[in-house]
């Protein structure tokens, strides 16, 4: 068979297979374009996990009609002012995202730059079906519908709407964590599921996207070595999870899933966590662009470092140093004031409050001796109350309560020690 050139529509579909694996991939590419446009607020709408709808609206610089037409062509980008690809400072630079997504969906692109009129352009699975004026504020709005509608082989391999939504939300959390100076909102099927306002503090943004408890149960990192800077937050060893879904890694503001970095985090906690437990971390690595290659994966989720040993050693030593400085801190428990706010409500029976008296008796200095039956208030001699508890009249109810009593004599030595009522609680 002779060699031939592939048609443009097939080239775009092949590129889409590399760049657009699922709705979350398309969402990531569109939001990265919005971030690179200088947006301060980005709004996302999803339908059926992104399978039916992905809409991204930003207030960035916008595009002219000519730029919009050029943006839908392959390998056309404004993010490489020259041919020095080693100095990439933006999230996107390949110029494949928009034409690839447009070739496997119905895309509506609307944009308006400052001081100009808005314009819209519609592409249905690679074919331009319409364009004209549009009314919208400064910025860009991209609407992607019916993803993989003309590629049933790819569409049937998508997971359920719930699983695709989870992947899209995770992608949004990582992008929002990387840029705390930008506000993000996400709506799914008409319900708002994420909303964060711009802030200058990374720890607060990380806690807002993971758990509010992370601030009190983590240590801050800020180290620099040979031009490489490591920052972020790392959880205490006692604050961990059964899955590694709360490990966020960033290189020059780019969310990545790099095996080197994941292995370094695992190595730092190796002597502090069980094999099936995982720490909660958000690590931000900043280094000169010439020291890292971001052009090793079509979706830009992997990177290659020029000195991987330096990065790995810095992560392990930085995490261990920060955790060692925290001493023997453990997960913070609720304060005594918070615990004191809890009150035990009495249980009402036909004979009255049967738990009010013992609570008062215990709180007023109730004491008993190991192996001896304690004395109870006269209200507890009512045999009908004992019957309501399912006990035989005159039976000792202390083992049923499981209350701790002050011991006046040591526990007698025995050959066997059967489990009994708890004597107290530590921590």
Q: What integer pLDDT is reported at residue 356 of this predicted model?
A: 46
Q: What integer pLDDT is reported at residue 365 of this predicted model?
A: 44
Q: What integer pLDDT is reported at residue 384 of this predicted model?
A: 46
Measured distance CA(103)–CA(377) in Å, rounded? 81
Q: Do residues 279 and 273 lie in contact, with contact meaning Cβ atoms separated by under 8 Å?
A: yes
Q: What integer pLDDT is reported at residue 407 of this predicted model?
A: 60
The segment(s) of the chain belonging to CATH 3.30.230.10 are: 204-325
Among the listed residues 322, 292, 293, 331, the one whose alpha carbon sits nearest the alpha carbon of residue 231 = 322
CATH 3.30.565.10 is the classification of domain 8-200: yes
Q: To 10 degrees, what angle do helices 161-178 and 23-36 make?
A: 20
Q: Which SS3 state, helix, strand or coil, does residue 97 take?
A: helix
Q: Do residues 250 and 178 lie in contact, with contact meaning Cβ atoms separated by under 8 Å?
A: yes
Measured distance CA(364)–CA(39) in Å, rounded? 63
The segment(s) of the chain belonging to CATH 3.30.565.10 are: 8-200
Which helix (H) or strand (E) segment holds residue 65: the answer is helix 65-71
Q: Which SS3 state, helix, strand or coil, does residue 229 take?
A: strand
From residue 80, alpha-carbon distances to 83, 251, 259 in Å are 7, 19, 28
Q: What integer pLDDT is reported at residue 200 of this predicted model?
A: 82
pLDDT in tens, the chain (427 residues): 788 888 877 777 776 666 788 999 999 999 999 999 999 999 999 999 999 999 999 999 999 999 899 888 877 777 666 666 667 777 877 677 888 899 889 999 999 999 899 999 999 988 899 999 999 999 999 999 999 888 888 888 889 999 999 999 999 999 999 999 999 999 999 999 999 999 888 888 998 998 888 888 899 999 999 889 999 999 999 899 999 889 999 999 889 988 889 999 999 998 888 888 999 999 999 999 889 888 777 767 788 899 999 999 999 999 999 988 877 666 665 556 666 676 666 555 555 554 444 444 444 444 444 445 555 454 444 444 444 544 455 555 555 555 555 666 666 666 665 666 677 777 6
Q: Please state which architecture CATH assigns to domain 204-325.
A: 2-Layer Sandwich (3.30)
Task: State the Rg of the chain over Cα.
Answer: 31
Q: What integer pLDDT is reported at residue 366 of this predicted model?
A: 44
Q: What integer pLDDT is reported at residue 343 of this predicted model?
A: 65
Predicted TM-score of the model (pTM): 0.73
Measured distance CA(255)–CA(291) in Å, rounded? 17
CA atoms within 13 A on the CB side of 423: 10
Provide the 10 A C-beta neighbour count for residue 345: 8
From residue 163, alpha-carbon distances to 107, 192, 347 in Å are 23, 18, 45
Measured distance CA(101)–CA(278) in Å, rounded? 35
Among the listed residues 388, 390, 365, 389, the one whose alpha carbon sits nearest the alpha carbon of residue 377 = 365
Q: What integer pLDDT is reported at residue 354 of this predicted model?
A: 47
């Amino acid at each position: 068979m002779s060699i031939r050139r592939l048609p443009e529509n097939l080239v775009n579909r092949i590129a889409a297979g590399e760049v657009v694996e699922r709705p979350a991939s398309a969402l990531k590419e569109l939001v990265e374009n919005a971030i690179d446009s200088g947006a301060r607020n980005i709004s996302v709408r999803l339908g059926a996990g992104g399978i039916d709808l992905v809409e991204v609206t930003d207030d960035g610089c916008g595009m002219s009609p000519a730029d919009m037409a050029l943006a839908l062509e392959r390998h056309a980008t404004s993010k490489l002012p020259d041919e020095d690809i080693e100095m990439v400072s933006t999230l996107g630079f390949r110029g494949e995202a928009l034409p690839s997504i447009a070739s496997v969906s119905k895309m509506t692109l609307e944009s308006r730059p400052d001081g100009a009129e808005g314009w819209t352009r519609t592409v249905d699975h690679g074919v331009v079906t319409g364009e004209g004026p549009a009314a919208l504020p400064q910025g860009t709005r991209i609407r992607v519908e019916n993803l993989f509608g003309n590629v049933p082989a790819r569409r049937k391999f998508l997971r359920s709407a719930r699983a695709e939504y989870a992947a899209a939300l995770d992608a949004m959390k990582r992008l929002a964590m990387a840029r705390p100076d930008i506000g993000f909102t996400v709506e799914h099927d008409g319900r708002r599921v994420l909303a964060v306002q711009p802030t200058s503090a990374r720890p607060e943004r990380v806690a807002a996207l993971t758990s509010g408890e992370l601030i009190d149960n983590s240590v801050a990192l800020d180290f620099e070595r040979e031009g490489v800077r490591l920052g972020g937050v790392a959880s205490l060893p006692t604050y961990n999870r059964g899955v590694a879904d709360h490990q966020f890694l960033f290189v020059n503001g780019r969310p990545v899933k790099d095996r080197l970095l994941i292995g370094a985090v695992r190595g730092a906690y190796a002597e502090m966590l069980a094999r099936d437990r995982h720490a909660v971390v958000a690590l931000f690595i900043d280094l000169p662009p010439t020291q890292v290659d971001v052009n090793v994966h079509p979706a830009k989720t992997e990177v290659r470092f020029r000195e991987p040993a330096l990065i790995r050693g810095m992560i392990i030593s930085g995490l261990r140093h920060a955790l060692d400085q925290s001493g023997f801190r453990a997960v913070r428990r609720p304060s005594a004031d918070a615990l004191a706010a809890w009150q035990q409500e009495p249980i009402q029976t036909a004979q009255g409050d049967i738990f009010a008296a013992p609570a008062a008796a215990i709180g007023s200095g109730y004491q008993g001796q190991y192996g001896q039956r304690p004395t109870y208030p006269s209200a507890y001699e009512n045999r009908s109350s004992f019957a309501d508890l399912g006990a035989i009249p005159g039976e000792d109810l202390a083992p049923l309560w499981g209350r701790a009593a002050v011991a006046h004599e040591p526990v007698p030595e025995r050959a066997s020690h059967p489990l009994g009522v708890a004597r107290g609680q530590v921590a």
